[in-house]
Amino acid sequence: MKQGFYRMFIELTNNRATSGFLRKFSTSRLSKVLIKPYINAFKLNMEESKNTSFPTLHALFTRELKNDARPIYAGENELACPVDGVLESHGKIEKDIQFIVKGKTYSIIEMLGSKEMADKYNEGYYMVLYLSPSHYHRIHSPIAGEVISQFELGAKSYPVNKAGLTYGKDPLSKNYRVVSEVKSSENGKHIAMIKVGAMFVNTIVVTAKEKRLKKGSEVGYFSFGSTVVLLFEADSFTANNKLKSGQPIKVGENLGKLH
């Protein structure tokens, strides 16, 4: 009953007109009146922001940080956290190229749009990193390497918060998303980074135009809170044993070992 009501509500509110209005409003000068209330409501740390004045709410969402605000603690052959957020879930990918989050089974074939691409991650490892509207929205490269493919999938986006993951229609594999596959220069293996759009505002902007990526370099940003899914090939990654699902994380922190 609860699941059905949740989905019905989302379907009624998540339409093109609503999304278009919110996108237009957040990028308009009218949204400036909400900037201070937003900062106060979400207790944003503006001391680490490169700018302290913003023309629109969207400019605040996509703010850049000072150069020293997110040092890269991950060393050689270690995975740098690509976003500020919460480690929602992590674990081993099953033999049928699936993993489970909040009781839902996610098909990596559906998530990546190709069995050929998904096969290389069979029995590998996954991480789901959730960004709320309160988080820094820029995305950074978790490794040094080369982008070997990048493409878009999906159309609409549903919430990717706890309620969305519990009651939604498989948002990690059905939402609008940008998939980047990177070949690591550290271990020669592939990592898939799936940037998943959030409710209403589908915008995911790719800012890195070059194929070669430095660890910690910016690759893009979300226009609102969202999620990043990381996929690793079998026997190529071991998560930091101090990590726990639900813990806060920041760009540059060591999430585990590449091998």
- Dihedral of CA atoms 165, 63, 255, 210 in degrees, nearest 10, equals 110
- Burial string for 146-180 (b: 16+ CB within 10 Å, else e) reads ebeebeebbebbbbbbeebbebbbbbbbbbbbbbb
End-to-end CA separation in angstroms for the chain? 46
Cβ atoms 219, 63 nearer than 8 A: no
Rounded to 5°, the CA angle 50-129-187 comes to 95
Query: In 3D, which of 156, 96, 170 has the Cα closest to residue 128?
Result: 170
By annotation, the residues acting in catalysis are 84, 140, 226
- Token digits of residue 6: 């949740």
- Backbone phi, psi, residue 25, to 5°: -65, -45
Which one-letter amino acid corresponds to residue 160?
Answer: V
Cβ atoms 186, 76 nearer than 8 A: yes
